[in-house]
Amino acid sequence: MTYTIEQAAELSGVSKHTLRYYEREGLLPPVAKADNGHRSYTDDDLGWVRMLLLLRATGMPIRQMKAFMDLTWEGDHTIAARVGVLEEVRATLVARMAEDVEHLRYLDRKLEYYTGVLALDDATLEQAVGEDAREVSRT
């Protein structure tokens, strides 16, 4: 099955501009053209777009995505190098996730504190705000 650029954009969730950009930058293999000169995307093309979106969502920079795709186009003898790239991206993602867990824990503590403050009367609230300032200086 083939898709127009409009259909490919809708199915992949990216703009037509992004599809053209990915092709122009060599992130996608050259897309076939219909008799009228319009791009004709295949399911394989959309699979490559999904992979690029996944890599981008990990925080991988475009230049690294390009290098990875260049390795892919070179053939199976580059699989070990591709594994190395993906392992680096994975390690970075795991570290970022650990940081996010710490951020979430901090937010949970703050939410618990502020939820408790909402239950206090005005006099007790003034005292609690002072305690919050001291807690922030400790964290």
> Looking at residue 138, what is its pLDDT?
57
Flag whether 89 is in a domain.
yes
Taking alpha carbons only, the member of 96, 93, 48, 97 closest to residue 73 is 48
Query: In whole angstroms, how far apart are CA 94 and each of 88, 100, 108?
Result: 10, 10, 21
Q: 58 is in which domain, residue-wise?
A: 1-65
Greatest C-alpha distance within the chain: 78
Identify which has the larger pLDDT, 118 or 61: 61
Whether residue 129 sits in one domain with residue 91: yes
User: Residues near 45 by Cβ (< 8 Å), separated by ≥ 6?
Assistant: 8, 28, 29, 31
User: pLDDT tier at 131 (50, 70, 90 boundaries)?
Assistant: low
Average pLDDT for 92-110: 96
Whether residue 80 sits in one domain with residue 60: no
Average pLDDT for 51-71: 93
SS3 at position 89: helix
SS3 at position 111: helix
Prediction pTM value: 0.71
127 pLDDT above the threshold of 90: no
Residue 56: CB atoms within 10 Å: 16
